[in-house]
A and B are shown apart, each in its own frame.
Chain A
Amino acid sequence: MAIEVSERAVARIKELAMKRQTPDAFFRIGIRGGGCSGLSYFVDFSETADPKDKVFEFGASEKVKVLVDRKSYLFLNGTQVDWKSELMKTGFEFHNPLAGRTCSCGESFSV
């Protein structure tokens, strides 16, 4: 098992990297949680990778490098990342086999 990033999401990541003028940056996904609000998914670009990060590559010709930190990986293993652009909701969507209850925004899940 690993993580999966859909074609649409890969295209979106490439587009965002272009707009930010950081074409070589890694795309980091992970989870973070403060207190009891629960864990939430986050996405961001990162210009450096930590040696402990898991690195995945997606895309045909120009690869998109996706990073997941070790701790997040425990919760993200098997997750599919997709990009949705709809009237009511635009953003990266996480389909995580571990999380039973996903909130309507698709960004947070509880432990």
Chain B
Amino acid sequence: MANIGIDLGTTNSLVAVVMSGKARCLLDETANPLLPSAVRYEPDGTVVVGRAARDEAAAHPERTFTSVKRFMGRAPAECKADAALFRYTMDESEERFVRFSVPGREPVTPVEVSAEVLKVLRARAIECLFGEPGGAVITVPAYFDDAQRQATKDAARIAGLEVLRLLNEPTAAAIAYGLDKRETGTFAVYDLGGGTFDVSILELNDGIFQVLATAGDTHLGGDDFDRALGEHVLAKAGLDRRGDADHRELLLAVEAAKRQLTDAEQATVSIGGAAVTVTRAEFDALIRPTVERTGAACRQALGDAKLTADKIDAVVLVGGSTRVPLVRTYVGELFGRVPYTDLDPDQVVALGAAMQADILTGSSQLSDDLLLLDVIPLSLGLEVMGGVVEKFIPRCSTIPFSQSQTFTTHVDNQTALDLHIVQGDRELARDNRSLGRFKLSGLPRLPAGIPRIRVEFLVDADGILTVHAKEEHTGIEARTEVKPSYGLSEDEIERMLEDSIDHAETDVDVRLLIEARVEADGILTAVQKALSVDVALLLPGEQAVIDAVASALQTAMTAEDRKRIADLSHKLDEVTAPFAQRRIERDLTLALSGRDAGEVGKQLGLKDRTATGEKA
């Protein structure tokens, strides 16, 4: 089974796969690799995803969602401005995650909206690969924090995808370029998408990609260009900000104008009966403040990597927004060199993700020796006395990363301890992003100051944190109860998984369980039949092994563990393979000896529907 790479973008999403040693994006019916990340919930319960949803957004503004990546893993309080910008109605009764109201339907979370996009990409992969993909590498902005990463993983789970790895977008692009060009040296990847900006500095040396530093802004991108242009057009046309539908129409119109301005010196936006002409120079002036905001992150990344711009061997541009001429000029000046643009900036992230997905199969033709070492974008710390943050994992640490800290109690017989974990680089906890509160309970009753509670923080290769705690004197494992500040709980995800079955009847878990049982049943029947017919072909001891596996499989089929059923089916097929091989060899010998196929069919034990069969 092939692994796939997915770029889940703010504006567009793509799926790519390595075939015959080459990464390729999978296309839709119109030969387009881009799936607009737009989802419309119809009153009858159907879901429209992609170009249709995007293009018809103006007609159904209240039930169409775009750019939901901006809301992933965030709380309503944090994204009021974004919600207003996209005219979404947020359900404010929920503090931990965003929920958008949809007329005549339960509210939806950005995680569920993203899952709809992922489901379409998964279907595209199933179609082209003739089967379920093995696993998926999904890209995220390097600057995504823990909650945003977790939200992305949740969306994949709801879409029925097995996430092999979350991969940072600029790193994915560097893989695509690095493996393509076979270059060694230091890269800067400048990734300006629809809604996020990332810059990473990487070193490729001796087959190892080491990310040296990463910085960015999860709220900066081409959407901001559209907004600036939109406001300018409205002002010039003497129009006010108006209703939702008009707003969507305006956004589509200015986006088209922005694209034209990539090559043309001027473009015209028609809105509300007025036609406004915008020149390239005007556009550049409008977007310059946004473009210049990317410079600060670039300088920070260089500083963290302890490098100066002249030490960068190559600059790679990623993201559709890097087509804007001003962006290209600006990046060129910033790094003092002409950026690489030979891979399609829209596709390069998905291609890199597919390459990493292929490498994770363990049998890749691309490179058996390539290793990717990424970093955590923001420091992790604990809130200590006075609301101050004590960092335990500094930003740009190579992941996976683990760090242990020892704590003690403040009062006698204290049995619980609260830890507040934050992510960010500010001094005070309240200025950083709260990741979660970990309550360690079940501590042994001891005088104050005696317990030594060792807490291990582990950031895995996806950049996601887990916490374990143990009291060292007694060896008692403290229970860690995680209350994530933002994001969905396990129960909520379970519920969404169930909803996804209700609404689409395509949920993988149930379907795969049924399929696994059907397959297991088929194999068991076939084995029994073969054993009854050809017992003479068995080697000594072979039957005992086959029987043992078959009975284990029969037991497993009564339970719900799909993986166990599949594993045992596979095992049964495996242990019967030599026996089956002997049967086939014998039948083939018969076939080759020139008898007619009907005869062979009989020999094969087939119900024969073409008794007058042709000569084999």
Contact = CB atoms under 8 A, between A and B. Distances in A.
B580 A36 contact: yes
Interface residues of B, number: 48
A103 interface: yes
B472 interface: no
A43 B574 contact: no
A77 to B, nearest CB: 7
Nearest to B606: A100
Nearest to B583: A111
Contacts of A11: none
Nearest to A101: B607
Interface in A67-111: 71, 74, 77-78, 97-101, 103, 108-111
A71 B605 CA distance: 19
B523 A100 contact: no
Interface in A13-41: 15-16, 18-22, 25, 33-38
Contacts of B604: 110-111
A45 interface: yes
Interface string B571-583: 0111111011001
Contacts of B616: 74, 77
A20 B19 contact: yes
Contacts of B527: 35-37
A15 B26 CA distance: 12
Given A35-B580, A98-B600, A111-B587, A22 B19 contact: yes
Given A35-B575, A36-B580, A97 B522 contact: no
Contacts of A48: 20
Interface string B1-41: 00000000000000000011000111111010000000000
Contact of A77 (B31, B522, B614): B614
Nearest to B597: A98
B565 to A, nearest CB: 13
A21 B20 CA distance: 12
Nearest to A46: B20
Interface of A: 1, 15-16, 18-22, 25, 33-38, 42-48, 71, 74, 77-78, 97-101, 103, 108-111
Nearest to B534: A36
B285 to A, nearest CB: 40
B25 A35 contact: no
A36 B605 contact: no
Contacts of A18: 27, 31
A93 B519 CA distance: 19
Given A19-B28, A98-B601, A36 B573 contact: yes
Interface in B525-570: 526-527, 529-530, 569
A35 B607 contact: no
Given A37-B573, A111-B604, A98 B613 contact: yes
B448 interface: no
B59 interface: no
The residue in A35, A42, A98, A99 that gathers the most chain B C-beta atoms within 10 A of its C-beta is A35
A90 to B, nearest CB: 9
Nearest to B28: A19
Contacts, number: 118
Given A74-B591, A97-B613, A98-B601, A35 B127 contact: no
Contacts of B256: none
18 contacts: A1-B614, A19-B26, A19-B31, A19-B127, A20-B26, A20-B128, A22-B20, A34-B576, A35-B527, A35-B575, A78-B614, A97-B597, A98-B601, A100-B606, A100-B607, A100-B610, A110-B606, A111-B606
Contacts of A99: 601, 606
B574 A19 contact: no
Contacts of B587: 111
B412 interface: no
Nearest to B609: A100
Contacts of A20: 19, 24, 26-27, 128
B20 A47 contact: yes
B55 interface: no
A71 B587 CA distance: 12
Contacts of A78: 597, 613-614
A33 to B, nearest CB: 7
A33 B588 CA distance: 14
B130 A44 contact: yes
A21 B25 contact: yes
A77 B613 CA distance: 11
A109 B522 CA distance: 11
B124 interface: yes
B344 interface: no
B334 interface: no
Contacts of A110: 526, 529, 604-606
B614 A19 contact: no
A60 to B, nearest CB: 20
B584 interface: yes
B220 to A, nearest CB: 32
Given A78-B614, A110-B606, A111-B606, A34 B580 contact: yes
B368 interface: no
Nearest 8 A-B pairs (CB), nearest first? A35-B576, A100-B607, A100-B606, A35-B573, A34-B573, A97-B610, A36-B527, A47-B20
A34 B579 CA distance: 10
